[in-house]
Amino acid sequence: MPVVPLTDRVPDDELMRQVAAGDGPAFAELFRRRHPVVFRFALHMTGSVSTAEDVVQDVFLIVMRDAVRYAAGRGAVVAWLCGIARNCVRQRMERDRRLAPLESWGVQEPASDEGGPMDALAGLLRTERIELLRRAVQSLPVPYREVLVLCDLQEMTYEDAAKALECPVGTVRSRLHRARGMLTAKLCAARDSAPASRGEDRSGDPAPTTDTGERDRAVRADGADAGGYCA
């Protein structure tokens, strides 16, 4: 019997069928293909790299056990995996709610001096803006964060997100709309909280401030402004 290499041409549904039959290479291929989606979902939900990796492990252990229960006609494999990941994340958040995360994922985009100081500044502002957005996403209530992460960060369809979240498509759409509104409000609030310090900087004090907090607030305000989310 010829050995057929497992590539992207093998659909996820078929891989799941093979995993359920005990095929190790199929399981390895499924992991390689889909673990980034699970990892990123958990990372955006928890903000912790190590927790996200634990979730990945939990999810694929469940896949081993429950592959036979996957029903191909009831939704995409990715949606099924994200549904499992969502439950694992919720369990971990419930368990660790009183524990402060040991480490938090932060956007680290190295500034480049190739284009001159202005480009470097633009890079820093861009990084700061994304970091601000990341924190705003993290602060959303869990049901809204889940929808935003699945639909906007993972670019999942409403239908697949609804399968993962076990709710109607209409609920997904309305939650996403609400989540984006909340996100915009948080970003605009960050802008509005900073102008005092920025105004002081621009008011004629020749000595650059050494206060890190003030400088951060100024950068945050610039970042929020540059995002152009606010009316």
Partner 1 sequence: MNCREFEADIVDLARGADSGTQVAQRLGEHLEGCPGCAARVERERRLTAQLKALASSAPESPRAAAIEQRLLGVFAERQAEASRPVAASKSVFATRAARRWLAIAATLLIATLAWLGSARWWPAREGQSVSTRAELGPPAPDPAATRAAERADQGTVAQAVEARPREQAPRARTGRSGAPPVERVGNEEVLRFVMLPTAVGMPGLESGRIVRVEVPTAMLPAYGLDVMPGPADGVVEADVLVGQDGQARAIRFVNLDSTQRRRQ
Q: Interface residues with partner 1 (CB under 8 A)?
A: 22, 24, 27-28, 31-32, 35-36, 39-40, 43-44, 49, 52-53, 56-57, 60-61, 64, 105, 107, 109, 126, 129-130, 133-134, 137, 148, 151-155, 158, 173-174, 176-177, 180, 183-184, 227-231
Q: Which of 121-145 are b and which e, b meaning 16 or more Cβ less than 10 Å from the residue's Cβ?
A: eebbbbbbbebbbbbbbeebeeebb
> Smallest gap, in angstroms, from Cβ of residue 72 to partner 1?
21
Rounded least distance, CB 47 to partner 1, Å = 11
Between 175 and 217, whose beta carbon lies closer to partner 1?
175
Nearer to partner 1, 14 or 23 (CB): 23
Which distant-in-sequence residues (6+ apart) come within 8 Å of 39 by Cβ? Answer: 52, 53, 55, 56
**DSSP letter (8 states) at residue 73:** G
To the nearest whole angstrom, how small is the minimum distance from the Cβ of residue 112 to partner 1?
15
**Number of helical (H) and strand (E) elements in the chain, helices listed first:** 10, 0
Phi (first) and psi of residue 174, to 5 degrees: -70, -35
Gap between the terminal Cα atoms of the chain:
64
Min CB(43)–partner 1 separation in Å = 6
Return the number of the residue (38 or 194) whose C-beta is nearest partner 1.
Answer: 38
Q: Is 58 within 8 Å of 88 (Cβ atoms)? A: yes
- Structure tokens that stand for 190 in this block: 């960050």
Q: 127: Cβ–Cβ under 8 A, 6 or more apart, which residues?
A: 107, 108, 109, 111
Lookup: tokens for 89: 């994340």
Please identify, using beta-carbon distances, which residue of 185 and 196 lies nearer to partner 1: 185
Distance from C-alpha of 87 to C-alpha of 25, rounded to nearest angstrom: 26
Residue closer to partner 1 by CB (options 93, 185) is: 185
Least spacing, CB of residue 165 vs partner 1, in Å: 17
Q: Give the side-chain half-sphere CA count within 13 A for 139.
A: 13
Q: Residue 91 or 174: which CB sits closer to partner 1?
A: 174
Contact 77, 16 (CB under 8 A): yes
For partner 1, the closer CB: 15 or 197: 15
Smallest gap from residue 205 Cβ to partner 1 (A): 32
For residue 145, the minimal CB distance to partner 1 (Å) is 12
